[in-house]
Every structure is written in C-alpha cells, then in structure tokens.
Chain A
Amino acid sequence: MKQPVSIKGGESVYCINESQLKESLRLANEDPVSSPRIQQAREHVESTLTRNERAALAFLLIERLRTHNH
C-alpha cells in the first residue's frame, strides 16, 4: 500500500461556537419577530424531510451562508 487510507472522513469544517449557538437559540425561541418565522420553517422541514435530508439541508445552508453574502 503506497499511502495508508484514512477512515475518519477528513477534517471537520464550519464549527459553531457556544456564543453563536446561544444567539441562534434566542432567535429561534425567544425573539418576537424571528421566532415564529424560524419555528414555522422548522416545523415544515421536520415534517417533510428525513433526518439525513434535514442534515443535508443544514449543511447546505451553512455552506451557502459562508460562501454567499446574502
């Protein structure tokens, strides 16, 4: 074997820190304007997509948020 083959899937990308998560939860659960909008979208996604589809959508959104400024 020329090069050992990793089984760990490579490096992780797009980490979320505690401060970002806390603000996300505040927006989603407490903010009077954003919370209803986020919860409505979440309920729709959770009722129509499988677990892996939801994960794929979450990763796609993060990827697009990091690479697009809108």
Chain B
Amino acid sequence: MQIEVSDVAKSKLLELGLNREKFLRIGVIPGGCSGMTYDAVIDDVLETGDSVVFESGDVRIVSDQFSSPYVEGLSIDYSDDLVQSGFRLTNKRAVKSCGCGSSFQTADAEPAVASGGGCGSGGCGSGGCGS
C-alpha cells in the first residue's frame, strides 16, 4: 500500500508517544463537504479486521477493514504554520476535497453522505460554523 509520511510527521508522531505498543489508527468516516473525512487517533488496541498499512521503525499505521481502501495514496505531513497547523492528511487519489482540506472524495468510491452545504456539513466542524 502506498502511504507517505514525512520525516517531520514521523518525528511528531514519535513525540506523541508512538512506540512498539502504540500506533496511529486511521479511519475514514462519513462527513465534511466532500463526503468523507479522515479520523486519526493514537491507539494501542488492535481490533479484528485491522491491518498494518504502514510501518517505519516505531511509526505504525493501522486501519480497519472499511477504511483501508481509502488509505491508499494517503500522505501525512506536519506543519507548525498556524493557518494550517498540525497534521495534514491528504490523498493524491482524491478527486474532490473541501476548502479546508479536511474532507475528500475518491473516484472509485461514492461518498457515504451527500455533499454540499459548505463546511458546516460535518468534517469542517459541525459545531462551530453554526450552519
């Protein structure tokens, strides 16, 4: 599986505690203007159906059965630029993404929810926008 993790992102993930036990779990959930959004959490419990989709030293990325196909082509980077700070998860296979970059849609998958409605429809913050 083709996944890219920049060196700075790897360093930040290790700072956050990734090791032989703790890994980064990436899931895809319906939401956002473009249909799907990535969820990324540090976890230490492997569930049935999970697979390791990336491994480099102590940086392991795990994804569940549903999410794995959408992780193909994923790039993870980190920036301390306040305008786009933190981890950036982008997918080069995405044919559509919302303005803030938090949700996407791939060509070979229909979004699980209808798109439209601006950034208030889920992924960009269903609570803060007030829309």
Contacts and interface: CB of A to CB of B under 8 A. Distances in A.
A17 B128 contact: no
A24 B17 CA distance: 42
A47 interface: no
A43 to B, nearest CB: 19
A15 B125 contact: yes
Interface of B: 13, 16-17, 22, 24-25, 38-45, 80-83, 85-87, 89, 100, 102, 118-120, 123-129, 131
Interface of A: 1, 4-9, 11-15, 17-18, 51-52, 55-56, 59
Given A9-B85, A9-B86, A15-B100, 13 more contacts: A1-B22, A1-B43, A5-B41, A7-B16, A7-B40, A7-B41, A8-B38, A8-B87, A15-B129, A51-B82, A51-B83, A52-B81, A55-B83
